[in-house]
Structures are given as structure tokens and as C-alpha cells.
Amino acid sequence: MKKTFLFAAALLLGAGVSLSAQETSQSDNLPMYQRSSLHMILLRTDEPLLADGQDFSSLITEAWSNYPFPDKYNQHAIPFTEAYGGAPKGSLMEILHTFRGKKVEDWGIDDVVLLQQKLSKNKEYNDQLVAATQGIISDQKIGNQLMKKWFNIQPDGSWDWNLLSERALYNASQSAVAEAEATVAGIRKIMDDGENLIANTFVTFSKLAFYETEPVSALTRDLAYVVASQVPEPARTIAVTSANVAYAATKRGYTAETTTALYKLDWNEDVQAAFYAMFKEDGKIDMAAFDAYEFPMSLVGIDKANSNTIDALGGLSQALGVDDVIKDFGGKGLAKDLSDLFQQTIIRNIDKILAVMGKNYEVFAPVSQIISVNPIVADLGMKEGLKGGEKFDLLEPVVDPQTGAVEWKSIGQLSVSKGKLWDNRYALTDDAKAAADKAAVKGSVLTPNNKKAAVGMVVKQVVKKKK
């Protein structure tokens, strides 16, 4: 199946192409784990972004453009970065406007059941998102663009394997690096490693919304009122009181909401065979065949995450007062501060949705390196959604003596120490950024101590299987 492809690789070797010094200079500390590759696409939306007369569209665009790419993935950037995500059928804002138009006393229990179903399952919204993203993938041939990126494919069919070898070597052992510099067999080994990397290529399509929290909290309270009306005293009074307390606790601020569809590039034997058949005897790719083929992508899942500005206020709320910060957007010389605040909330929410997906889907779960032992510290923290207590497998590389393939096997489970979490989240103020930079240990402590743990090993979060 790889005959033509390996022939092209052999041509490169025969032409004197070798690995650069830059690619091999890291060999002394070369990590042996594989990082997934990721491209992120923003979906524009028709969802209402207005609250208190303020249009938050520009804040969302600004936050997205300033988002620091997550360092647990290889950035696999392609030219296509933004698209229209379709009409927001079944969105929170649509639901809100529909139900807030009715008086609570006119609601029935059927209204409550319908609303709860819409808010919890949001099937209509997700179905629309899938239809929109699959249309984009097909129209823009996203899979083909990802492949062009991997092999730097040019219009005339010429290509190179610089990116693939760079990332493969980042995951290779020193012996594999040395072998690759000298033999076609070495190239094949690196390309095999590279194929594993191609198989872990992902694209996220994200819709971002930003809205005032109070109407949503009020709707939730009103739902509780209707449910309470169906039960006798004293349970009714208790339920109403609880609803009022919850409303008071959650009504302030604004909420950033990210809904993301995660797709994976399909890289199976059939797709590989189709790709390798495109290589001509001169080593170039038949671009007519390449353009006629659509490299498939499969949906991994859809998830949603919410973050509130109140959670991100910190020192700013103490200095200016929560009410001033929340109410006076653009009104009392605080526009810059609030712009920063909203940007932090949105950026942290994007981190949050990636963390949620990493926990929900094992195939997307990132790995983190052990950076020190006694105690065991890994390079992950609050940015990856940790709160303390999460479980991780400690993975040790095991080499198959016959094939030379590296497999990672668990040699124990570790838990995140609640009192020793690294706050590596996006920082709002210069002081917070400076404090993060000066942190003595840039990682989180994992317990219990494991005598087999060594610097360079990796940990991977234990993902609960969905029922």
C-alpha cells in the first residue's frame, strides 16, 4: 500500500535530504509522547449578543483573535478560520425570548417540561450545528486542507515531509532519529510514527455567545415557581425560598457560552490507500486526483461550557466594586477594564470547553509531562479544567522488541492535590500575569508518590466512559 509513497521518500533520501540540525538538537530531552494536532474555527452566529444596549460582537471577535493557542496540542493552522454557523434554532436566547413573553401565572406544568427539555438536551440546536458544520467541511474540503498542511502540498503536486518529520521526531527516541538520518527503513519508521499523528488531527467549530445573566436566572427562578405551585405547603414555601436565594446568587454579571463541535480526520486503511495511490512515479502528487477526493472527517461530539464575569473579577472587583464593574460598562471610564474582563471571561471559557471535551472523549484527552518528582509535578493546572481530585494514569513507554513500536502502559493512578493546583489560566491584570510567571512551580502536584515516576513520563486523565 505504501510502495509509491516510500519510493518518493527514497527519492528524497537519495537526493541528499536529511534531517536538519534544528530537528535533532532536542534529542537529549526529546519527549516520546504524541500530541494531537488541532485547528480551531469560529462560527459566526445570528444569536442575540445585546445586553443593556451593548453589542458584544466585537468583544467576542477580539477575544477569539487574542486567544493563546492551547499548548497541549500542536497547532495545525489552515487558511480557513471562520464561517457562518447557521440560524440559531433552539438557542438559549431564542428560548429565553419565547418563554419570557408569557406571564408566570399563565404557565402550566407542560410548559415547564418543554422548557426543561429544550434547556437540557438542546437537540434542535445541536442538530442545526451538525448540519452547518458538515456543510462547511464538505464545501471547504476541510479534510483536504488538513492534508495539504501535513505535507505542504503545492499546486503543482510537489510536497515535503518537513512538518510530519518534525512532529514525528518530537515523539521519537534518539535511536529512531539517528536511524532516520541514514536509512530508508528509518524514514519508514518515522513516517509510521507520523501516520499516528495524522490519525489524531482534530478541528473544533465553536459558537460563542455573550449575554446578560439576570434574564436567564429569572427564567430558572420562574420555572421553580411553577413547579412549586404543584406541591402542598410547607414544601411550596421552601421551594420558592430556595428559588429566590438561587436567583439572588446568580443574577449578576454576564455569561460567556461556548458551544463546540469536535471533528476528527479519518485516517484509516481505505483513506491511506486512496492517498498513496495519488503519488506519481516522479514523486509528485496527482492534484486532479487529490482535488477530486474528499478526505473524510467524523464527528466526535458536541459540548457546551459557560463562564461568568463574576468568577473572573478577582482584584478588579475589590478595587472598583462589583456593581460599578458590572453596571457601568463604557459609562465611567471603565471601558478598558471591562473589555479586559470580558475578554478574560471569554478566553477562559474557550479553555473550559476544550477541557470539557478532553474529559469527555478519550481520543481527544491530552497528555502532560512529569516535570519533577518527590513530589510528582505535571505541567497542567486550572487552565485544563482541574479543580482537585481528578485521576490520572501514570504512563510508562514500553518498546516492542520485534517492531520497535512504543506503547504507553499505565503503571499506576495519581490524583490532583486540591491544595497544590497551578493557576495557569489566562490572566486579567499585569500583576496577575507577573505572579503567574514568578510561580516557583509551574505545574500541579499529583499524589500519592510513585517510586517508578520519572521526569519525562506522562500522565493522561482518566476519562469516564459515557453510558
Q: Are strands 391-399 and 458-461 parallel, antiparallel or unpaired?
A: antiparallel
* Sign of the torsion angle spanned by Cα atoms 419, 425, 431, 433: positive
Q: Are 436 and 424 in contact (CB under 8 A)?
A: yes
Q: Give me 115's grid cell.
A: 422548557
Write down the pLDDT at residue 326: 46
Q: Three-class SS of residue 137? A: helix
Q: Are 235 and 124 in contact (CB under 8 A)?
A: no
> Do 412 and 341 lie in a common domain?
no
* pTM attached to this predicted model: 0.79
Is residue 225 in a domain?
no
**Which DSSP string do the residues of 311-350 spell out, in sequence order?**
HHHTHHHHHH-HHHHHH-TTTSS-HHHHHHHHHHHHHHHH
How far apart CA 121 and CA 124 sit, in angstroms, is: 8
Q: Are 164 and 197 in contact (CB under 8 A)?
A: yes
Domain boundary among 333, 360, 387: 360
How far apart CA 262 and CA 54 sit, in angstroms, is: 31
**Vertex 413: Cα angle to 72 and 359 (nearest 5):** 40
Residue spans of alpha helices (H) in 181-329: 184-198, 214-228, 235-250, 269-276, 287-292, 309-313, 315-320, 322-327
Report residue 138 CA to chain centroid gap.
22
Q: Give me 71's grid cell.
A: 499548548
Q: Are 462 and 413 in contact (CB under 8 A)?
A: yes
Q: Are 277 and 271 in contact (CB under 8 A)?
A: no
> Do 117 and 199 lie in a common domain?
yes
Is residue 230 in a domain?
no
> Do 370 and 351 lie in a common domain?
no
> Do 350 and 401 lie in a common domain?
no
Write down the pLDDT at residue 414: 87
Closest CA to 190 of 204, 175, 180: 180
Closest CA to 44 of 80, 78, 83, 79: 83
Q: Are 442 and 422 in contact (CB under 8 A)?
A: yes
> Do 23 and 115 lie in a common domain?
yes
Domain boundary among 334, 360, 386: 360
> Do 456 and 350 lie in a common domain?
no
Write down the pLDDT at residue 227: 82
Can you state the percent helix, strand and coil of the chain, rounding each to 5?
45, 20, 35
Q: Give me 95's grid cell.
A: 428560548
Is residue 145 in a domain?
yes
Residue-level pLDDT, tens digit, the chain, 467 residues: 454 454 455 444 444 444 433 333 333 333 445 689 999 999 987 665 544 556 677 778 888 998 999 988 999 999 999 998 876 666 666 666 666 666 666 777 777 777 766 666 577 788 889 999 999 999 999 999 999 999 999 999 999 888 887 777 655 544 555 555 555 555 566 666 677 789 999 999 999 888 788 888 888 888 888 888 888 999 999 999 999 998 888 888 888 889 999 999 999 999 999 999 999 989 899 999 999 999 999 999 999 998 888 765 554 444 444 444 444 443 333 344 567 778 888 899 999 999 999 989 989 988 888 888 888 898 888 888 888 888 888 888 777 777 666 677 888 888 888 878 888 777 655 555 555 566 666 788 888 888 888 887 888 888 776 55
> Do 203 and 263 lie in a common domain?
yes
Closest CA to 169 of 152, 191, 153: 191
Other Cβ atoms less than 10 A from the Cβ of 389: the count is 9
Structurally, how many domains does the chain consist of? 2
Is residue 11 in a domain?
yes
> Do 427 and 378 lie in a common domain?
yes
Write down the pLDDT at residue 168: 73
Is residue 234 in a domain?
no
What is the domain extent for residue 352? 3-213+252-360
Torsion angles phi and psi, residue 288, rounded to 5: -65, -45
> Do 19 and 87 lie in a common domain?
yes
> Do 396 and 356 lie in a common domain?
no
Domain boundary among 360, 391, 410: 360
Q: Cis omega (within 30 of 0) on the bond before 88?
A: no
> Do 182 and 72 lie in a common domain?
yes
Is residue 170 in a domain?
yes
Is residue 233 in a domain?
no
Write down the pLDDT at residue 141: 98
Write down the pLDDT at residue 430: 57
How far apart CA 189 and CA 258 sit, in angstroms, is: 40
Q: Are 184 and 10 in contact (CB under 8 A)?
A: yes
> Do 270 and 397 lie in a common domain?
no
Q: Are 351 and 426 in contact (CB under 8 A)?
A: yes
Is residue 466 in a domain?
no
